Amino acid sequence: MSENHLNVQRKLWENPWGYVESFFIGFGLIVTGFFLEVFVSTSNTFTLSYPFNLYFLIGYVLTLFVLYKWFSTSQIIKWLTKVPASISSITLVTFMVMIMGIIPQVSSESNIINNLGLNKITSNWAFLLILFQFLTCLGLISIKRILQFKWSNFGFILNHLGLFLALIAGILGTGDLQRLSVNTYEGKPSWIATNSQKQEIELPFAFYLKDFVIDEYNPKLALIDNKTGSIAENDGKNLYLVEKDETYYIKNFEIKVNEFLATSARLGDRYHPVNELGSPPSAFISVRNIETDSIINNWISSGSFSQPYESLKISEDYSIVMTIPEVKKFSSDIDILTQEGERISTVLEVNKPFKHKGWKIYQLSYDDKMGKWSNLSVLELVRDPWLPVIYIGIFMMIAGAFYMFWMGNKITKNQ
Amino acid sequence: MTWIDFPLYSSIVVILWIFGLVFLLISYKKEAVLKIANLLFVAGWAVLILFVLKLWIELDRPPMRTLGETRLWYAAFLPLVGFVTYIRWKYKWFLAYSIIMAGMFLAINYLHPETYSKTLMPALQSPWFIPHVLVYLFSYAVLAASSIVAVKGWYDSYKGNFDLETLKLADNLVYIGFAFLTLGLLFGALWAKEAWGHYWTWDPKEVWAFLTWMGYLIYIHYRHFHIHKSKQALTILALAFVVLLVCWFGVNYLPVANTSVHTYTQY
Ligand code: HEM
């Protein structure tokens, strides 16, 4: 339909506004935003929290509704519900995000970057203003299609309303998002958390860490260049996991693992299996030089925070070492103690958070230096009351994506 | 070792698939043999699934902790998505692509047995990991194909015999590719929430994935509004693909690279 209009010579700002006007307005918003960045000091970022963000949302949606319902004949509302306004705002949001994708979002030496706020795009006025137009377009056309009550609009509404909900809840929700971390120690209750500003906060429940467990992969064998101390190239292949009775070939060495102890200690001329704090893995290997047929064998160990590592020098150029085992899995066996005297047991693991009273509890980290002997487990608590809305939006968009996949170019109508 | 039978199984699968691909090629001339091709693909896929199940039973856990194991899942799911897309859209090249990719993952596993046990960090051990990577794999393939169509469009209009059907084919590919892209983005968000507690952090890779998504969004809306402005549409499509390439290969070379968590380089 718009094709006809565009073919007719049309003056600027005459009905209906096209791309020139749209980009003009969009640039106007961005320039205004940069002015605000430069001249209005914004030392602390401004976020709305409950209940004001909720009021804002209700007010915004009502306003959009009223604007669409009773002012849809006005120039500006007509413009906002047409594609040029959308495309210009999508393009300019893309432009602002592209800045974020090029300039690192950390404090900068450059005055221009600092003053224009190019290193904090997500709270930059220019970005927020153009995003506001973007959302307003999105909101208005969603309302438009919803009010048409047509089945054929189903996919459209899933995509547009879904994106609208996910974005608006994500933006407004940041004010209510709480992210705390708690250090828990084996055999002790902990109820003091710290927030991102390093303030201490007392929780209404306590964690009692019964056991912190790290599962490790076996250590790996690596061939080390004696001169540089770095891993010698092995035809681009990965290192081998140490496994008892396996034979590996690296360069022209045949390496046989005769013995492998997951936790051990050196006693005299050999390692023995023991299970104490800081007892490292070790292996007895024999290395045959395939060219000369000479054999060397000895114990190697990757060491730990308390024990030295041991390598085996196999030639002028090379040594065999055992790497520090990598972590396969770490988990915390905890009890949550509530004020009502309840005791809830659960096991936390990466990718397996636990829900409790509106909090999601994540296994975050542990004491790296102590590795599997760490008796510290760091938990993270996240509370995000707007999450259900975001998820509704996300799942609407997932459904919308399936719809698009299925419909393909049948979506493009009036051909 | 539970992977002991892998060379046998994977050889059977790959051989069946290679024959299938040959028949698929022939079917461009002689439609009837397509049935044979499909039969061979399905047979190969069944053998593969048998191996996955055997491995699962022997390990007594879902095989998803090592690099070799995740590749096995790619190989298992790629043909499935390929088939669904084929049934809906009848793009033979796409079916071939999915089979070849799946075969490639099997071949990588076969050539690098040491990765059967190559470790995967705990955060990657998530049921979202595989769908996340897979849908991106498809999305990039389909969007790349849409760009090839765009190049053809440019060439045709240069020659003066541009056909609107070309753009409609590009549209279709963009819609399909964009659907996969959206899924990749959203699965990534859901996974990040499960693993780290936030769904979106504006990590450089995320930023460029988002930009790619926005680029194709512009194309979709432009096409919807201006059915006959083919030159401009083709230009937008080309630019969107440039952004996609930056996202895919270029992020590591940008000044923002060292702030990214997406630098595993181990797919
Ligand atoms: C999830 C992302 C999006 C998808 C998949 C999407 C898809 C589509 C499709 C397929 C159409 C045309 C087909 C139809 O009429 O049903 C369309 C129309 C439209 N879209 Fe989007 N879109 C998205 C986001 C946006 C955004 C962010 C905006 C605005 C900022 C927007 C504004 C519009 C407008 C104004 C129309 C034309 C509506 C009309 O003519 O009534 N869309 N969109």
In sequence order, the β-bridge partners of residue A269 are none
| A382 touches B197 (CB < 8 A) | yes
In a domain, B133, yes or no: yes
B256, B131: one domain: yes
Same domain? For B139 and B86 the reply is no
CB of A137 within 6 A of ligand 1: the answer is yes
Q: Is the CB of A411 under 6 A from ligand 1?
A: yes
Statement: residue B257 has pLDDT above 70: no
pLDDT, tens only, B109-160: 888 776 666 667 777 778 888 888 889 888 988 998 898 888 888 888 888 8
* Final residue belonging to a domain, choices B50, B79, B109: B109
Instruction: Report how far apart the first and last C-alpha atoms of chain B are (Å, whole number).
Output: 23
pLDDT band at A415 (very low <50, low <70, confident <90, very high): very low
> Quick check: A112 contacting B, CB < 8 Å?
no
Tell me, yes or no, whether B115 lies in a domain: no
Stretch A111-121: mean pLDDT, rounded?
85
Task: Tell me which residue of A3, A31, A29 sits closest to A16, measured CA to CA.
Answer: A3
For residue B8, count other CB atoms closer than 10 A to its CB: 11
- Cβ separation A408–B172 shorter than 8 A: yes
- How far from B263 is each of B205, B208, B257, CA to CA, in Å? 9, 14, 9
B73 and B142 share one domain: no
Last residue of a domain, one of B75, B109, B143: B109
Nearest to B254 among A102, A237, A397 (CB): A102
Read off the pLDDT band of A41 (50, 70, 90). Answer: low
Domain count within chain B:
2
Does residue B34 fall inside a structural domain?
A: yes
Q: In this predicted model, what pLDDT tens digit does every residue of A227-263 receive, in sequence order? A: 888 877 665 555 677 888 888 888 888 899 999 998 9
CA distance A156 to A152: 8
Whether B174 and B203 map to the same domain: the answer is yes
Q: How far is CA A34 from CA A37, A116, A261, A376, in A?
A: 5, 6, 63, 46
Using a cut of 0.90, tell me whether the model's pTM lies above it: no
pLDDT of residue B148: 87
End residue of a domain, out of B57, B76, B109:
B109
CB A352 within 8 A of CB A333: no
Is the separation of the CB atoms in A212 and A377 below 8 Å? yes
Per-residue tokens: B157: 């209009």
Residue B101 sits in the same domain as residue B129: no
B86 & B125 share domain = no
Residue carrying the six token digits 């380089």:
B265
Q: Do B94 and B164 fall within a single domain?
A: no
The verdict on B156 and B238 lying in the same domain is: yes
| Residues pairing with A337 in the sheet | A206, A343
Q: How close A304 gets to chain B, by Cα (Å)?
A: 20
With CA atoms as reference, report the closest residue to A126 among A17, A213, A30, A21: A30
- Determine if ligand 1 sits within 6 Å of the CB of residue A156: yes
Look at residue A414 in the predicted model and tell me its pLDDT: 46
Which A residues in the span 260-319 are in contact with B, Cβ-Cβ below 8 Å?
A: none
From A159, A168, A394, A415, give the residue whose CB has the most ligand 1 atoms within 8 Å, as the site to mutate: A159
8 A C-beta contact, residue A412 and residue B171: yes
Kindly state whether residues B207 and B253 are assigned to the same domain: yes
- Overall residue count recorded for chain B in this entry: 267
Could you tell me the two tokens for A176? 């209510």
CB atoms < 10 A from the CB of A92, how many? 24
User: Where do we find the tokens 């009273």?
Assistant: A357
Kindly provide the ipTM of the predicted complex, given to two decimals: 0.88
Atom of ligand 1 nearest to the CA of A412: 13
Query: Residue A4: what pLDDT?
Result: 45
The residues near B207 (Cβ < 8 Å, ≥ 6 apart) are A97, A100, A101, B256
For ligand 1, atom 34, the nearest C-alpha belongs to: A83
Residues 190 through 229 of chain B touching chain A, CB cutoff 8 Å? 190, 194-200, 202, 204, 207-208, 210-211, 214-215, 217-218, 221-228
Confidence of residue A14 (pLDDT cuts 50, 70, 90): confident
- A252-287 CB burial, b ≥16 within 10 A, e <16: ebebebeebbbbbbbeeeebeeeeeeebbbbbbbeb
Q: Report the first-to-last Cα separation within chain A, whole angstroms.
A: 11
Separation in Å, CA B200 to CA A174, A180, A185, A364: 12, 18, 30, 17
Q: Say if residue B183 is in the same domain as residue B252.
A: yes
Statement to judge: residues B79 and B167 lie in one domain: no
In a domain, B190, yes or no: yes
In 3D space, the residue among A209, A192, A182, A204 whose CA is nearest the CA of residue A340 turns out to be: A204
Give contacts of B123 with chain A, Cβ < 8 Å.
350-351
Atom of ligand 1 at shortest distance to CA of A162?
1
**Whether the Cβ atoms of residue A141 and residue A361 lie closer than 8 Å to each other:** no
Residue from A409, A411, A414, A415 whose CB has the most chain B CBs within 10 Å, to mutate: A409
Residue range of the domain that includes B54: 1-109
Which tokens in the block code for residue A17? Answer: 């506004």
| Secondary structure (3-state) at B222 | helix
Q: Listing from the earlier edge strand, what are the strands of the sheet with A220-225?
A: A240-241, A220-225, A318-322, A312-313
Domains and CATH numbers, chain A: 2-148 (no CATH), 178-214+329-383 (2.60.98.10), 218-325 (no CATH)
Residues B80 and B143 in one domain: no
Identify the pLDDT of residue B114: 67
